[in-house]
Structure 1
Amino acid sequence: MFKISEFSKLSQVPAKTLRFYDQLELLKPAYTDQQSGYRYYKSEQLLQLHRILAFKDLGFTLEQIKQLLKENVSNAEIRGMLRLKQAELHSLIQSEMERLGRIEARLGCIERQSDGRLRHELVVKKVEPLLVATLKETTSRASIPGLFEEIDEFLRKNGVAPTVPHMVMWHACPECESSIELEIACPVPRELSNTSRFQTKVLPEMTVATVTHISRPDEDTPVSIELGSWIEGNGYRISPELPSREIYLSPQENDKLRYVTESQMPILALG
């Protein structure tokens, strides 16, 4: 038998790692001296150690490897696990390639900026489904604050305390002066009775390019140009089926007409 130092040298695995594997009961020594605590290994244990290292190299956790060795898993079962790991790695690679593309696009934007800075930080995120009360109307941007008040009054009448954020969903022509088709929405904790004016519905899950900035709901915001440029430069396209959103998160303390605003553009990956 070999002392742990000798087995470490033979296997090219640090003695510290071998002790850790012993603690996990992943690779127990063939013999442990009860008085000195010295660990001793047999040469046949190299096969088990190399199998552990092979599974670890394939991305399995030590706990998964422990189960694989303990249960004497069949080749068919190992093949299935490897297929899952393969799919997981393909997904990770795709995600990281998209991240790399965003980094390269951001570098390009910085290099094009005269002062070397971006005006806003743009990110991609997934928006979860959301239950909201809505009010849809074709109107002008100037009427949005009044529509906020109208939907707040509807919520109060239904026993729901109105809170920020308010949301505006742009269905058509957000740049038009008097013919904007928009929808005001507020999150609600439960379904409310629909009327000819108000509806309760669940907004769908979607992936968005988003930017946070300061704006007034009754004034145009300039960030759409930045969003469009970013989407184009990062290998996405705008979803034709979902409206863009502006979420008015909180009013500023020194100017209640201006809000911390999150602009969201629904996107699809090119492919």
Structure 2
Amino acid sequence: MKISEFSKICSVPAKTLRYYDEIDLLSPERVDPGSGYRIYSMDQLPRLNKILQYRQLGFPLSLIKTILNGDTTLEEVQGMLRQRNRVIQDRIEEELERLRQVEAVQEDLAFQLSEKSRSRGYEIITRSIDPVLVVSMQDHANGLTDSGRILVKISKKVLQHIMKQNCPMSAPGIALYHSFSEQRVDLEFAQPVEYAIEPAGKMECKILPGIELAACVYHYGALNEIDHAHQALMDWVRANEYEIDLPVRDVYLRYDPRGKGQEFITEVQYPIRKRQSVD
């Protein structure tokens, strides 16, 4: 099959496959003499999966090439893995602390943090939201009052798993609310990541769909006051004759469980569509 087809099957960009060929890490099965196209086969997937597996562990390509070419013994590889395991364990606490400080706020957000911006109340904007690769986990809470506890529980599991896989995070975490009732709230925590990893337990690694049109508002302050932002959005949606599509999202742009609530920044996002008129 051509490189474009093989790229789709293995979810690896064609540019990356070409580079692997250039460094003799993964060469095509053959090159068509007439067209010059690189031709790959399904038999090459096991080697590619090994490459991706070692990359997720943080091994450089040169070392991966040495391992896969059989230039190291199994005992040496096991020693490398043990060493890598110790490094990852040592970094988990450091990375978790760094994660709490991660900020993905655009530069102009500094203006919105000013006292003048805060005093103006909630300003609703509409925009589209791009799809994003995430590691996520779903659960349910016994009503809205229990949702915070459940989100903390599942987000901790997701973040610790990502840290253990040594996978960089690409954007702030997202809480998704799939349904609401007094007795039950179906929710999900999704953490954007740089590349796909093997999920654990009830987790998923997937593309979180984009939103064609979303009504958004920034909430500055503690999460136990975020209901005001949600109410502002619902009032705006009704006033402008839109309807809400679930799930709605809370994006934790600035959050530190050990920090001060007034310093938190959360973007609330409501997928919306124009209300259909009834003749």
TM-score, normalization: structure 2? 0.48
Q: Structure 1 length normalisation: TM-score? A: 0.50
Q: Choose between structure 1 and 2: higher strand proportion.
A: 1
Larger CA Rg, structure 1 vs 2: 1
